[in-house]
Amino acid sequence: QFSDSAWPFLAVPPAADPLVQQLSGANSLWEYQLTLSTFILTFFTSQAYSHWKSVYFTTRSIQGRINDICILLTMGAQRIPTATSSASTYSDAAAELVDTCTRLIRLSHTFFWAATPTLSNGVGDGGKS
């Protein structure tokens, strides 16, 4: 038996009990670890949210500029009326221009993210290992 006294299930044990006195060191360690863990989790969660927010706003900005380019491109492309419906279609030159610009926009978007430093290597930012 570890303790000389007994107490109800959810009651606070007496401080003078030998078992409680032996566990006071573990209690002190627990309080230090709790404080340290809380600080670390709070700090890194804050940093992760800041990083996420900057990436989010960057991607939304890029999306907006790509949308602007696409709208300008489709507005300025030459259209030919079709005989079968009230809709129109691109001329051959305009269709080629739209396809080329679409391909180049996707390529530049890919190159932007390829050049953006990330922490994906697990060591540091910007490929520094």
What lies within 8 Å, CB to CB, of 69 at 6+ separation is 101, 105
What lies within 8 Å, CB to CB, of 89 at 6+ separation is 79, 80, 82, 95
Please say whether the beta carbons of 57 and 72 come within 8 A.
no
pLDDT tens column, 50-91:
988 988 998 899 899 999 999 999 899 999 888 887 888 899
The model's pTM is 0.56
Rounded Cα–Cα distance for residues 108 and 88 (Å) = 29
Residue 129's pLDDT band, with cuts at 50, 70 and 90, is very low
Mean residue pLDDT of the chain comes to: 84
Per-residue pLDDT at 38: 93
Please say whether the beta carbons of 127 and 121 come within 8 A.
yes
User: Distances from the Cα of 108 to the Cαs of 45, 63, 69, 94, in angstroms?
Assistant: 32, 12, 13, 21
For residue 3, the one-letter residue type is S
